[in-house]
Each structure stands twice: as structure tokens, then as C-alpha cells.
Amino acid sequence: MAVTADEPAYDVQIEFTMPAAHNRFWAIPVLGIAVKLILLIPHIIILSVLAHVTALLFLVTWIPVLFGGRYPSWGYALTGGTLRWNAQVAVYLVGFTDRYPPFRLGKAAAGEGPYDVEVDFTVPAAHNRFWAIPAIGILVKLIILIPHIIMLQLFSIAVMVLALVTWIPVLLNGHYPSWGYEFIGGTLRWNTRSTAYFYGLTDRYPPFRLSR
């Protein structure tokens, strides 16, 4: 399902840039993914630390929302930046791009070319204080996100199956298949939006769609 002309864009946008060609080396079975995992070790370590930091910050970000109706800017910088970093590492791992992901939470600086996946957040003018009520807000969110959790679990299984064949066109003709961008990229988009909603970056319930 794609967004219609009358429907406003969702508050979390994930855009992919398709390279003109891909390096066939990364599509060599086992070897390509093994080398990538080794190269990504620094990212994996940092993202593991950031995951714990954002979980701890989740214990305090509700305070400015509850009392001021605004999610703190440092929450967008850190939590949103961690989601952006995760997405960039994920697309490199699955083969959307051959460009090694940058070590940064924010977007590309002025004069620096954007990475092949960019994650943008629209900051609402105000946030609903209900979601910041201790225990209640997070419990309700978990309940209403159950359909998304189920769908994402199913899609994640499908992604793992598709990952077993996406290397074939890359190895044969140097091009990642467009359906890989649509389904695997769409699953990443859906997961990022659901996570952003859970962490309170937006109050808009995430859409049930892989597309923009």
C-alpha cells in the first residue's frame, strides 16, 4: 500500500539510493557476508552500547513529555540517531550498498554526500501527554503494537529467505534486484517506524505498509 496524495507523509521517512552497480565480491556465497560481518564489528559494538543507552534514556524522556508536552531534542538526536545508524548498517549488511556505513548519529554534514539510506524525522509541534504516563503509556503502546510485531516477525522470516537468493543477480550481473529494495527495504522502513513510535519520537500510529 502506497501513501495517497491526500495522505500526509509519515513522521519517519526512510529513503534508499540504488547504486548504478554493485561489487560482485560481496555476493560470493559465505565469503562476502563473512567479510562484511568482520568489517562491521566496530559498528556492532557501538550500536550495542547505544541500545543500552537509549533504553536507559527511555526511563527519563517521558518526564519532559508529561510536564511540557514536548519530546526532548536530545532524545531525537540520540534515539533517532541510533535508529538511523542501525538502518545504515543494516542496508550495508544486506547488500543494498557497497559503501561502508559512517560512524555518526546525525545526517551528513554540509558538503558531505548523503549515505545510500537516509532516515528523517518530522518533529511534531507537541506530543500527547497520555503516552508519557508511567507504565500505562508504554503498556498501551505495547498492546496496540501487537499487530505490527506479528507482521514484522513474519516479514523478518521472509527477509531471511529472500537473503538466500538476492546475491545471485548481484553475482551474475552486478545489480541488486529491485524487489529486494521493495520488500527487504520496506520491512526495514516498517520496523524503524514502529520502533520510533514505541520510543515516542512520534504519536502517529505507524502505517501497515512497506512503501513510503
pLDDT tens for 31-68 read 999 999 999 999 999 999 999 999 999 889 999 999 99
Over the chain (212 residues), the average pLDDT of each successive run of 10 is 62 91 93 96 97 92 92 93 96 95 86 85 92 92 97 95 92 92 95 96 95 84
d(CA 144, CA 206): 11
Q: What is the pLDDT of residue 3?
A: 53
Spatial contact of 148 and 190, defined as CB atoms under 8 Å apart: yes
The whole-number pLDDT of residue 4 equals: 52
pLDDT at 7: 64
Q: How many CA atoms lie within 13 A of 179 on its CB side?
A: 8
Note the pLDDT of residue 146: 98
Stretch (H or E) spanning 118: strand 117-121
Burial class (CB in 10 A: 0-12, 13-18, 19+), 62: buried
pLDDT score recorded for residue 110: 66
pLDDT confidence of residue 34? 96
First to last CA, the chain: 9
C-alpha cell at 18: 540504488
CA 164/CA 156 separation, integer angstroms? 13
